[in-house]
Amino acid sequence: MNAPRTMLEKIWDRHVIVRRGADEALLHVDRNFVHEGSFHAFGALAAEGRKVRKPRQTFATADHYVPTRNREQGINAVTDPEMRNMLELFAQNTRANGIANYYGLDHPQQGIVHVVGPELGITQPGLVITCGDSHTSTHGAFGALAVGIGASQLKQILATQCIWQKQPKTMRITVAGAIPSGVTAKDIVLAIIAKIGTAGATGHAIEYAGSAIRALSMEGRLTVCNMSIEAGARAGMIAPDEKTYAYLEGREFSPRGAHWDKALEFWRSLPTDDGARFDREVTLDANTLAPMVTWGTSPEEAASITTAVPDPASAGDADKRAHMAQALRYMELKPGTPLEGIKIQRAFIGTCTNGRIEDLRAAAAVLKGRKIVVPAWVSPGSSAIKRQAEAEGLDRIFREAGFDWRASGCSGCAAMNGDTVPAGERCASTSNRNFEGRQGKGARTHLMSPAMVAAAAVTGKLTDVRKLVS
Q: Which residues of 440-462 are buried (b: 16+ CB within 10 A; e: fewer)?
A: beebbbbbbbbbbbbbbbbbebb
**Partners of 163 in the beta sheet?**
27
Q: What pLDDT was estimated at residue 6?
A: 98
Three-state secondary-structure class, residue 295: coil
Give domain limits for the chain.
Answer: 7-165, 167-239+264-288, 305-467
Q: Alpha-carbon distance 378 to 360, whole Å?
A: 9
Laid out side by side, the sheet with 58-61 consists of 102-103, 58-61, 31-34, 128-131, 145-148
- Classified as helix, coil or strand, 109 is coil
The per-residue pLDDT for 316 is 86
- pLDDT given for residue 263 in this prediction: 98
Give the bridge partners for 59, in sequence order: 33
Question: How many angstroms separate the CA atoms of 204 and 232, rounded?
Answer: 8
Per-residue CA distances from 371 to 124, 207, 412 (Å): 40, 40, 21
The H or E element spanning position 435 is none
Q: Within a 13 Å sphere around the CA of 199, how many CA atoms are in the beta-carbon half?
A: 1
- DSSP secondary structure string, 36-88? GGGHHHHHHHHHTT---S-GGGEEEE--SS--SSSGGGGGGG---HHHHHHHH
pLDDT digits (tens, 9 = 90+) for 115-133: 999 999 999 999 999 999 9
CATH 3.30.499.10 fits 7-165, yes or no: yes
Alpha-carbon gap, residue 237 to 402, rounded angstroms: 37
User: Are 345 and 426 contacting, i.e. CB atoms less than 8 angstroms apart?
Assistant: yes
- Decide: 53 and 158 in contact? Cβ < 8 Å: yes
Alpha-carbon separation of residue 254 from 29, 139, 262 (angstroms): 18, 15, 12
Angle at 126 between CA 12 and CA 97, to 5 degrees: 90
- Helix then strand then coil, in percent of the chain rounded to 5, is 40, 20, 40
* Cα(267)–Cα(278) distance, integer angstroms: 21
Quick one: pLDDT at residue 418?
83
Q: Are 172 and 283 in contact (CB under 8 A)?
A: no
Cβ atoms 121, 252 nearer than 8 A: yes
Q: What count of residues does the chain have?
A: 470
Topology alike, domains 167-239+264-288 and 305-467: no
- Asked whether the beta carbons of 382 and 112 are under 8 A apart, the reply is yes
Is 101:59 a contact under the CB 8 Å cutoff? yes
The domain made up of 167-239+264-288 has a fold known as: Aconitase; Domain 2 (3.40.1060)
Instruction: List, as one string, the DSSP characters of 313-378.
Output: GG-SSHHHHHHHHHHHHHHT--TT-BSTT-B-SEEEEEHHHH-SHHHHHHHHHHHTT---SS-EEE
As a dihedral over the C-alpha atoms of residue 205, residue 207, residue 213, residue 218, rounded to 10 degrees, the angle is 70
Q: What is the pLDDT of residue 1?
A: 61
Q: What is the model's pLDDT at position 385?
A: 98
Range 305-467 has CATH code 1.20.1260.10 = no
d(CA 122, CA 119): 8
* Each residue's pLDDT expressed in tens, for the chain with a length of 470 residues: 689 999 999 999 999 999 999 899 999 999 999 999 999 999 999 999 999 999 999 999 999 999 999 999 999 999 999 999 999 999 999 999 999 999 999 999 999 999 999 999 999 999 999 999 999 999 999 999 999 999 999 999 999 999 999 999 999 999 999 999 999 999 999 999 999 999 999 999 999 999 999 999 999 999 999 999 999 999 999 999 999 999 999 999 999 999 999 999 999 999 999 999 999 999 999 999 999 999 999 999 999 999 999 999 999 889 999 999 999 999 999 999 999 999 999 999 999 999 999 999 999 999 999 999 999 999 999 999 999 999 999 999 999 999 999 999 999 998 987 899 999 999 999 999 999 999 999 999 999 999 999 999 999 999 999 999 97
Helix (H, G, I), strand (E, B) or coil at 399: helix
